[in-house]
Amino acid sequence: MKDFAGRTAFVTGGANGIGLGLARALLDQGCKVAIADIREDAIAAALKTLDNQHAIGVTLDVSSRAGFAAAADEVEDRLGPVSLLFNNAGINLFQTIDDSSFDDWDWVMGVNLHGVVNGVMTFVPRMKARGNGGHVVNTASMASFLCGPAPGIYNTTKFAVRGMSESLRYSLAPHGIGVSVLCPGLVKSHIYASDEVRPDDLKAGAKPVNSEMVGRLEQLHQVGMEPNVIAARVIEAIEANRFYIFSHPEFRDELRALFDEIVGEFRDYPEDPGFAERVGFEQGRRDSYKAARATARGIA
């Protein structure tokens, strides 16, 4: 997609980090932009830096379906139909799965996965009905491929966002709507301060905030990639209709090694009963997937 000018974009987590970088890049492309964020003060500060009449802010908890619907109605009433959707809001919890509570799961899943689901389910039906094409970008992470013991729930959500995005790409291609998944590495952002926006009703199982660790994470994120650099790479990827947006090239060799390791786990077992029939079915599936990928790549 190359016709950005005049379109309306909706960016969650838009008041800092990648979201704010995207807002700047989209405004430069001639878009009208709504930045949605849970922090009202951050929205106000972001709008001051943008200083653009085509940018507005809307307070939104992305885990709320009703909140998403209300925000969509407000933005489209003020800026026109949204055809560029950036499900970018995310939080992190730096601990292992076995050391987490149900409240931890509900919080991180609510923002990182359900927030993307809510964005898709709110805006995509409107985009399809209008027939004007568009593009959806879901922010995952390199943590959607690479994981260690922590952050376990975060990894889970990002793996899910990646799979969801690929399936969505194929289903929306016939409607002229592109889908990409953004997989960044370290970014200069405020994700290290996620505990500041944790809802009170999901704190029952929360561990005390480790201020020393938060301080170390803050220093680490200061050397992260600048959001404006990532945003420029996102715009270029949308123009080229690429699915994967790997903004951080330093992960290439690590990912190649991981894929080699995965393929290396296959074994040449003897044929079992039903093998031929199963292979015949799988060939039909492969052909179907191949056609879906070709259709998705062909969106103008």
- Strand 55-59: give its sheet, edge to edge: 55-59, 32-37, 8-12, 82-87, 134-139, 177-182, 244-245
State the amino acid at position 124 in one-letter form.
V
For residue 155, what pLDDT is reported?
Answer: 98
Q: Which pLDDT band, with edges at 50, 70 and 90, does 300 fall under? A: low
How far apart (Å, rounded) are the C-alpha atoms in residues 239 and 2? 5
Q: What is the pLDDT of residues 94-110, one digit of tens each?
A: 999 999 999 999 999 99
pTM equals 0.96
- 3-class DSSP state for residue 205? coil
Q: What is the pLDDT of residues 132-176, one digit of tens each?
A: 999 999 999 999 999 999 999 999 999 999 999 999 999 999 999
Query: What is the enclosing helix (H) or strand (E) of 56?
Result: strand 55-59
Is the distance from CB of 227 to CB of 188 less than 8 angstroms? yes
Q: What is the pLDDT of residues 22-81, one digit of tens each?
A: 999 999 999 999 999 999 999 999 999 999 999 999 999 999 999 999 999 999 999 999
Here the tokens at position 164 are 């969801």
How far apart (Å, rounded) are the C-alpha atoms in residues 111 and 119? 11
∠276-280-283 over CA atoms, to 5°? Answer: 135
Per DSSP, 12 falls in state E
Rg of the Cα atoms in the chain: 20
For residue 95, what pLDDT is reported?
Answer: 93
Structural domains of the chain, ranges and CATH numbers in brackets: 8-297 (3.40.50.720)
Is the distance from CB of 134 to CB of 86 less than 8 angstroms? no
Average pLDDT for 243-264 = 98
How far apart (Å, rounded) are the C-alpha atoms in residues 164 and 155? 14
Q: Which pLDDT band, with edges at 50, 70 and 90, does 223 fall under? A: confident
- pLDDT above 90 for 274: yes
Average pLDDT for 202-225 = 83
For residue 218, what pLDDT is reported?
Answer: 75
Q: What is the Cβ-side half-sphere exposure of residue 166, based on CA atoms within 13 angstroms?
A: 11
Per DSSP, 187 falls in state B
Q: Is 154 a catalytic residue?
A: yes
Which of 154, 170, 192, 269 is an active site residue? 154
Is the alpha carbon torsion for 135, 141, 147, 151 positive or negative?
A: negative
How far apart (Å, rounded) are the C-alpha atoms in residues 140 and 23? 18
For residue 220, what pLDDT is reported?
Answer: 78
